[in-house]
Amino acid sequence: MNRLYHESEDWVAQGSCRQYDPELFFPVSTTGPGLHDAELAKAICRGCAVRRECLQWALRAGEPHGVWGGTTPEDRRYMRRDLPLPAAS
């Protein structure tokens, strides 16, 4: 995991994203020019051993930015409302 302010979480050291540029996980947007980075970050998360822990943390924390546990902020907003995710574009 590349986000220093979450280093206290036990699962952080096992995050696949530690091997990548942190900016990839904070795309400028999840549409338009940022879409490619967001999709790439989500693909990395799909292979991550601590995806579940990461996503649970992001949902608990109400993390408003970045890709966490394979979800964008928009995905997490849907999840918090218990709504189905929109179809991938």
Q: What stretches of 1-89 show up as alpha helix (H) in DSSP?
A: 35-46, 51-61, 73-80
The residue range among 32-40, 66-74, 76-84 that interacts with ligand SF4, by the rule CB under 6 A, is 66-74
CB of 35 to ligand SF4, least distance (A): 17
**What is the CA angle 4-6-11, rounded to 5?**
115
Q: With binding defined as CB under 6 A, does residue 27 bind ligand SF4?
A: no
Distance (Å, whole) CA 66 – CA 45: 12
Q: Contact positions toward ligand SF4, by CB under 6 A? A: 1, 15-17, 25, 44-45, 48, 50-51, 54, 67-70
